[in-house]
Amino acid sequence: MKQVQASMAGTVWKVLVAVGDQVEVGQDVVILESMKMEIPVQAEAAGVVKEIKIEEGSYVGDGEAMIELE
Amino acid sequence: MNETTLNTLQNRAEKIKQGGAPKYHEKLDEQNKLFVRRRLELLFDEDFQLEDGLFANGMDESLPADGVVTAIGQVNGQTVCVMANDSTVKAGSWGARTVEKIIRIQETAEKMQVPLIYLVDSAGARITDQIEMFPGRRGAGRIFYNQVKLSGQIPQVCILFGPSAAGGAYIPAFCDVVIMVDKNASMYLGSPRMAEMVIGEKVSLEEMGGARMHCSISGCGDVLAPDEESAIASARRYLSYFPANYEQRPPRLECQEVASDRKKISEIVPDNQNVPFDMLELIGSLVDENSFFEMKQLFAKELITGFARIDGQPIGIIANQSKVKGGVLFIDSADKAARFITLCDAFRIPLLFLADVPGFMIGTQTEKAGMIRHGAKMIAAMSEATVPKISVIVRKAYGAGLYAMAGPAFEPDCCLALPTAQIAVMGPEAAVNAVYSNKIAQLEGVEKADFVKEKREEYQRNIDIYRLASELIIDGIVQPDHLRDELMGRLKAYEGKDIPFSRRRHSVYPV
């Protein structure tokens, strides 16, 4: 099981993928809003989106799992 | 002299220079490692080198040179001293003569005031020899003592080819730079076997102390090299930015113009403060072509540190990378900056700060981890640096971020702004919320939006960069595409800078 984790603490601004989407390594999948900056978060592994564990507007801590890939 | 006498010397020397038994050389091949003497050939300009202590422990045929080569040679035309472990001799472990040889080459480097390079590939102490090599006045501890004493006086470079275990792991720790060979290099205090025995943890060596881990997570490594040849080439390149010792100036090379196919800085920097861009691209368009040598490229990537040349003059660059974590300063990035600034300042390498920073990270996670005391390290190192210090505000410089990036109060020789610069305690969005939170809460709908918009615009006018220039807060506003020329002139002008910082024994350093 591969995960996309939050690169820093912040609020989820946009989720760019949906369950079932194929994602590639380095693809932006979530944009966080933190310290008044847009923080794009990339997938570190390729895979199909199995579960999205967060929603837009929710707070995530550093390293928190946001998306499960398979 | 008779033939036998001469032949004996030649045969003995040749035998020792072959290192350990053939099976250990085969093992090197399997591990994609090079023999210690081959490494030295690649490191030095010329094949010929001076060597001390070839016959160390020569009465014991199983320990050629006692497992370490200590040599004097030339790198980029500069004389350097080298100690190099031979892992074909008892896995490069340290006996009494090994330690004595290492101490002596350190003493030689100190007397000559030339760089010292450690080629590390060692299993650590020979437990059987511990009384002779571990605790005494000239035991292994003296190696680390000497390293600390030499730090900042002469460059100390470590290339890690294999393990560097237990106490031995401190050789890299006390060097200025650690270049690690991927897959083969490792640093750890206790081996995975010991970790399982003592604390019950099951873990692989690569995961616990491998090169990639140290270069990306712990920050103990500075450069991750794919193979030994590339690691040695990196060490040679690193040294090209450095003088032989702290009293000399870094060597100036010929100017290399920026390649014509690079983007202009005005095309790279976006106007919107909140949208990330690649600071590495800006650096590429600013410095002499192919002169950028990044340090800790994989560690705390929200801050870029590296050496480069402008008009052939070596400089150290500290730059915020908005592409990673918004360029916010974290614990690791503050550490990374403090370390790099100290390194440049020790060897008279001028500093260039490229600021695009929303501030230091806030929130429980980083506060608990000691963000404040780590941030203090960066600000202390930057304050104490007396080399030419140039601060360029590329976009935002908010809060203590302005301070950490050599803002006006920290005596940069100049603080320049690009027209996109924005200096403030905080950005307009946060500031309006902070000042008018009660008022905003009372309003609704269009009225609320209009109020916020108006206040943000008012705030924006208040922190206008021309206003800051008019108040003499910054020293100038520079056209982005003239920045390189401006810096060439500035670096030349500040060349003669020679100032003391403060009178005392030493600062009480934040750690």
The predicted pLDDT at position B416 comes to 98
The reply to whether B265-421+474-493 shares the fold of B3-239 is: yes
Minimal CA separation from A39 to chain B, in Å = 6
pLDDT tens digit sequence for B3-42: 999 999 999 999 999 999 999 999 999 999 999 999 999 9
pLDDT value at B338 more than 80: yes
The predicted pLDDT at position A38 comes to 86
Between chains, do B324 and A7 touch, taking CB under 8 Å as contact? yes
- State the amino acid at position B324 in one-letter form: V
**Residue B290 DSSP one-character state:** T
B123-132, B208-217, B339-348: range with lowest mean pLDDT: B123-132
Which chain A residue is nearest to residue B428, measuring alpha carbons?
A36
The predicted pLDDT at position B414 comes to 98
pLDDT value at B169 more than 90: no
Mean pLDDT for the stretch of residues B280-293: 98
Domain ranges of chain B: 3-239, 265-421+474-493, 426-463
Place of tokens 């000399």: B248
Determine the Cα–Cα distance for residues B387 and B244; give it in Å rounded to an integer. 17
Mean pLDDT for the stretch of residues B300-305: 98
Give the tokens for residue B202: 């099951």
Between chains, do B326 and A39 touch, taking CB under 8 Å as contact? yes
* pLDDT interval class at B161 (50, 70, 90): very high
Residues of chain B above pLDDT 70, percent: 100
Fold (topology level) of A2-55: OB fold (Dihydrolipoamide Acetyltransferase, E2P) (2.40.50)
Phi-psi region of B327 (alpha: psi -120 to 50; beta: other; left: phi over 0): left
pLDDT tens digit sequence for A16-33: 999 999 999 999 999 999
Minimal CA separation from B479 to chain A, in Å = 25
Cross-strand bridge partners of residue A28: A42
Determine the Cα–Cα distance for residues B178 and B214; give it in Å rounded to an integer. 10
The CA-atom distances, in angstroms, between B505 and each of B500, B508, B509 are: 13, 9, 12
* pLDDT interval class at B383 (50, 70, 90): very high
pLDDT tens digit sequence for A45-64: 999 999 999 999 999 999 99
Using a CB-CB distance cutoff of 8 angstroms, which residues of chain A are in contact with residue B326? Answer: 8, 34-35, 37-39
* pLDDT interval class at A37 (50, 70, 90): confident
pLDDT tens digit sequence for B462-480: 899 999 999 999 999 999 9
Is B143:B103 a contact under the CB 8 Å cutoff?
A: yes
Helix (H) or strand (E) holding B140: helix B140-150
Determine the Cα–Cα distance for residues B147 and B137; give it in Å rounded to an integer. 15
Minimal CA separation from B39 to chain A, in Å = 35
* pLDDT interval class at B358 (50, 70, 90): very high
Which site among A7, A8, A30, A36 would you substitute to test the B interface, given the most B Cβ atoms closer than 10 Å to its Cβ? A36
The CA-atom distances, in angstroms, between B60 and each of A53, B13, B55, B63, B390 are: 65, 14, 10, 6, 58
Q: Pick the more confident residue, A2 or B44.
A: B44
Determine the Cα–Cα distance for residues B414 and A22; give it in Å rounded to an integer. 50
pLDDT tens digit sequence for B201-223: 999 999 999 999 999 999 999 99
**Residue B245 DSSP one-character state:** S
Using a CB-CB distance cutoff of 8 angstroms, which residues of chain B are in contact with residue A37? Answer: 274, 276, 322, 326-328, 358
Helix (H, G, I), strand (E, B) or coil at B435: helix
B9-23, B87-101, B265-279, B424-438: range with lowest mean pLDDT: B424-438
Place of tokens 């001799």: B89
Is B108:B79 a contact under the CB 8 Å cutoff?
A: no
Using a CB-CB distance cutoff of 8 angstroms, which residues of chain A are in contact with residue B322? Answer: 37
The CA-atom distances, in angstroms, between B339 and each of B155, B253, B358 are: 14, 25, 21
The predicted pLDDT at position B28 comes to 97
Between chains, do A8 and B327 touch, taking CB under 8 Å as contact? no
The predicted pLDDT at position B274 comes to 85
* pLDDT interval class at B190 (50, 70, 90): confident
Cross-strand bridge partners of residue B438: none
Largest CA distance in chain B: 107
Residues of chain A above pLDDT 70, percent: 100
Let me know if domain B265-421+474-493 sits in CATH 3.90.226.10: yes
pLDDT tens digit sequence for B47-86: 778 999 999 999 999 999 999 999 999 999 999 999 999 9
Minimal CA separation from A69 to chain B, in Å = 22
Q: Pick the more confident residue, B156 or A35.
A: B156
Q: Under 8 Å CB-to-CB from B30, ≥6 apart: which residues?
A: none
Q: Count CA within 13 A, CB hemisphere, residue A44.
A: 10
The predicted pLDDT at position B90 comes to 95
Sign of CA dihedral B41, B44, B50, B51: negative
Out of A9, A36, A38, the one facing B430 most closely (by C-beta) is A36
Domain ranges of chain A: 2-55
Minimal CA separation from A6 to chain B, in Å = 10
Residue B435's closest CA among B409, B462, B466? B462
Residues of chain B above pLDDT 90, percent: 91
Between chains, do B361 and A36 touch, taking CB under 8 Å as contact? no
Between chains, do B358 and A39 touch, taking CB under 8 Å as contact? no
Q: Pick the more confident residue, B280 or B48.
A: B280
Minimal CA separation from A9 to chain B, in Å = 8
Q: Under 8 Å CB-to-CB from A14, ≥6 apart: which residues?
A: A30, A31, A56
Largest CA distance in chain A: 32
Which chain A residue is nearest to residue B301, measuring alpha carbons?
A7
Fold (topology level) of B3-239: 2-enoyl-CoA Hydratase; Chain A, domain 1 (3.90.226)
- State the amino acid at position B451 in one-letter form: F
Which site among B217, B303, B325 would you substitute to test the A interface, given the most A Cβ atoms closer than 10 Å to its Cβ? B325
Mean pLDDT for the stretch of residues B405-416: 98
Give the tokens for residue B22: 């053939």
Place of tokens 């690169």: A7
The predicted pLDDT at position B289 comes to 98
Which chain A residue is nearest to residue B273, measuring alpha carbons?
A37
Mean pLDDT for the stretch of residues B483-492: 98
pLDDT value at A34 more than 80: yes
The predicted pLDDT at position B48 comes to 73
Phi-psi region of A15 (alpha: psi -120 to 50; beta: other; left: phi over 0): beta
**Mean pLDDT score of chain B, rounded to an integer?**
95
Which chain B residue is nearest to residue A63, measuring alpha carbons?
B365
